[in-house]
Amino acid sequence: MIKIFWAALWIFTASVYGDVNRFEAFMAEQVNDTAPPSAAFAVLRGHEIIYENSSGYNDSQRRELTSTESIYHIFSLTKIMTATVMMQLVQEGRITLNADIETFFPRLKAKYDDQNATITVLNLLNHSSGISDRSGDYRYMFDDNYYAYMLEQEEELEAYIDLPYLPGSEAKYSSAEYVLLGKIMEKVTGEPFADLIRKRVLEPAKMERSGFTYTDKMAEDQVYGTVKFFSIVGFAMRMFMEDDWRDHYEGTTLWLKQFDVRWQPAGGLVSSIHDMALFLKSYQAGSFLDAATQKTFLHAPNVKVNQTFSNYDDVRFGIGWYHLKNNNEFFLQHQGLGPGYRTIMRIYPEYDLSFVILTSQTETDIDLWADKLFESLKARPL
Domain 2-85+197-379 = CATH 3.40.710.10: yes
User: Is cis: bond before 349, omega within 30 of 0?
Assistant: no
Which distant-in-sequence residues (6+ apart) come within 8 Å of 276 by Cβ?
Answer: 42, 74, 77, 345, 356, 358
Confidence at residue 5, expressed as pLDDT on a 0 to 100 scale? 41
Confidence at residue 164, expressed as pLDDT on a 0 to 100 scale? 93
Domain ranges of the chain: 2-85+197-379, 96-190
Beta pairing, strands 72-73 & 48-56: unpaired
Confidence at residue 239, expressed as pLDDT on a 0 to 100 scale? 76
Q: Which of 164, 169, 120, 180 is nearest to 302 (CA)?
A: 169
Tens of pLDDT, residues 120-138? 999 999 999 999 887 667 8
pLDDT over 90 percentage in the chain = 71
Is 161 within 8 Å of 135 (Cβ atoms)? Answer: yes
CA 376 to chain centre: 24
Beta pairing, strands 329-338 & 322-326: antiparallel
Query: Identity (one letter) of the amino acid at 350?
Result: E
CA angle 126, 132, 134 (to 5 degrees): 165
Counting other chains too, the contacts that 324-330 makes at CB distance below 8 Å and 24 or more residues apart are 329/374
Tell me 202's DSSP state: I
What Å distances lie between residue 218 and 62, 103, 210, 211, 213, CA to CA? 18, 39, 8, 9, 9
Rounded CA gap, 130 and 24, in Å? 41
What Å distances lie between residue 126 and 56, 300, 322, CA to CA? 36, 10, 9
Confidence at residue 43, expressed as pLDDT on a 0 to 100 scale? 97
Rounded CA gap, 287 and 223, in Å? 29
Return the biggest CA–CA distance within the chain.
Answer: 68
Residue spans of the chain under pLDDT 70? 1-18, 135-136, 307-309, 380-382
Backbone angles phi, psi at 134, to 5 degrees: -115, 20
Residue 286, CA atoms < 13 Å, CB-side half-sphere:
8
Q: Helix 273-285 to helix 78-91 angle, to the nearest 10 degrees? A: 30
